[in-house]
């Protein structure tokens, strides 16, 4: 049935050491499966954690890396009705192994995407924009003029939050780590629709009070970092507001100030997109924003699958501000 070139790991460990480019024999095409040519697949932090063996779900080894990406259907089994040859598809769930050139998957594991959206949007739609959309929709009822505060604002999730919030008329206060090119990054996020971009240090400064003379205090805080950064986000929430934690890039637990619980009754929640099967309702809403020019993919660097070492190294560097996307 053919061969696939794939990024495979046989043990958990540091990605640069355990990931190898190999050749896999493809299984024969069952009547309910589809042969998919992968086109582009990002390297996300959860992919790295999965390879390291620290993520909440781990595949049986050996495994192909990658959980997200877009492919094109090139052959379908006789009983397949949900996808057809030529369709763009993304995995419905995590754990399918997207860092490979060809893959045979059950048709039930695939969701079709319209192919009139940019390739990089399609390749990065299923995880970060879905996470941003759910977090902005399911925890607090946000109205135009409301404020959301978030850290890791330049992450893939953060960039989607900025754009989806802006499309809803919701202000965003975006916290990023200081860096030499901060003003360039700030400009880039503002072009996307960020209301304010501030450094982590500014969160603790009195000028935050000035900001809240112009904007209502946030109803919602989105935390992708943890540690001190999360505690500082919490302090700025309005009474009864919610902080949703979706990532822990700093690998530090969160301290919740007693006063925030007693005097403000803030809610501390969590979110995991993997518990959601990707469905057309959610994806259609995002594709509508993409077509309207309101949701671009995150800043991306496309790297050939053969140069995976470079892509993995960059994906793990701080301050890189661009998503590494493997192209097959």
CB 144 to ligand NDP: min, Å: 25
The Cα 287–Cα 276 span in angstroms is 18
Take residue 296 and report the two structure tokens written for it. Answer: 């671009």
Q: Which residues of 163-199 are buried (b: 16+ CB within 10 A; e: fewer)?
A: bbbbebebbbbbbbbeeeeeeebbebbeebbbbbbbe
CB 273 to ligand NDP: min, Å: 3
**Unique residue bearing structure tokens 């995407």:** 113
- CA distances in angstroms from 120 to 175, 234, 299, listed in the order given: 25, 33, 9
CB 148 to ligand NDP: min, Å: 16
Residue closer to ligand NDP, measured from CB, 104 or 192: 192
**Unique residue bearing structure tokens 């493997």:** 326
User: Do residues 124 and 70 lie in contact, with contact meaning Cβ atoms separated by under 8 Å?
Assistant: no
CB 259 to ligand NDP: min, Å: 24
DSSP letter for 121, please.
H
Take residue 297 and report the two structure tokens written for it. Answer: 């993919």
Residue closer to ligand NDP, measured from CB, 88 or 246: 246
User: Do residues 72 and 37 lie in contact, with contact meaning Cβ atoms separated by under 8 Å?
Assistant: yes
Which residues are designated catalytic? 55
Phi, psi of 138 (to 5 degrees): -100, -10
Which residues sit at the interface with ligand NDP, rule CB under 6 A?
44-46, 127-128, 131, 152, 154-157, 177, 224-225, 246-250, 271-273, 298, 318-319, 321, 323
Residue closer to ligand NDP, measured from CB, 83 or 132: 132
Residue closer to ligand NDP, measured from CB, 83 or 225: 225
CB 304 to ligand NDP: min, Å: 20
DSSP of 78-103, one letter per residue?
TT--S--TT-EEEESSS-S--SBSEE
- Quote the distance between the C-alpha of residue 119 and its chain's center: 16
Q: Which residues of 60-76 are buried (b: 16+ CB within 10 A; e: fewer)?
A: eeebbbbbbbbbebeeb
Residue closer to ligand NDP, measured from CB, 87 or 232: 232
β-strand partners of 94: none
Residue closer to ligand NDP, measured from CB, 16 or 115: 16
CB 251 to ligand NDP: min, Å: 7
Which residue's Cβ has the minimum distance to ligand NDP?
247
DSSP letter for 28, please.
P
Cα dihedral value 27, 33, 38, 39, nearest 10? 160
């Amino acid at each position: 049935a053919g061969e696939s070139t794939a990024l495979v790991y046989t043990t958990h460990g540091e990605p640069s050491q355990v990931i190898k480019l190999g050749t896999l024999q493809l299984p024969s095409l069952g009547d309910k499966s589809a042969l998919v040519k992968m086109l582009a697949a990002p390297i996300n932090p959860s992919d790295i954690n999965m390879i390291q063996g620290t993520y909440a779900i781990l595949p049986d080894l050996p495994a192909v890396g990658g959980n997200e990406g877009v492919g094109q259907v090139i052959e379908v089994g006789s009983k397949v009705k949900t996808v057809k040859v030529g369709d763009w598809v993304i995995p419905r769930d995590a754990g399918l192994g997207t860092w490979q050139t060809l893959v045979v998957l059950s048709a039930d594991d695939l969701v079709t995407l319209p192919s009139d959206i940019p390739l990089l949007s399609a390749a990065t739609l299923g995880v970060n924009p879905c996470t941003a959309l759910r977090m902005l929709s399911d925890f607090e009822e946000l109205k135009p003029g409301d404020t959301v505060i978030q850290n890791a604002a330049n992450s893939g999730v953060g960039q989607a939050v900025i754009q989806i919030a802006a499309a809803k008329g919701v202000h965003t206060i975006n916290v990023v780590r200081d860096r030499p090119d901060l003003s360039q990054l700030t400009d880039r996020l503002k072009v996307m629709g960020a209301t304010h971009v501030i450094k982590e240090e500014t969160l603790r400064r009195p000028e935050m009070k000035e900001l809240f003379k112009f904007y209502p205090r946030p109803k919602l805080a989105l935390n992708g970092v943890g540690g001190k950064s999360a505690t500082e986000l919490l302090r700025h929430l309005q009474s009864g507001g919610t902080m949703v934690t979706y990532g822990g890039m700093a690998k530090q637990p969160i301290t919740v100030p007693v006063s925030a619980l007693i005097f403000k009754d803030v809610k501390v929640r969590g979110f995991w997109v993997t518990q959601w099967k990707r469905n057309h309702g959610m994806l259609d809403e995002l594709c509508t924003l993409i077509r309207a020019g309101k949701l671009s993919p995150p800043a991306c660097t496309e790297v050939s699958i053969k140069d995976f070492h470079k892509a993995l190294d960059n994906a793990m560097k701080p301050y890189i501000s661009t998503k590494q996307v493997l192209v097959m």
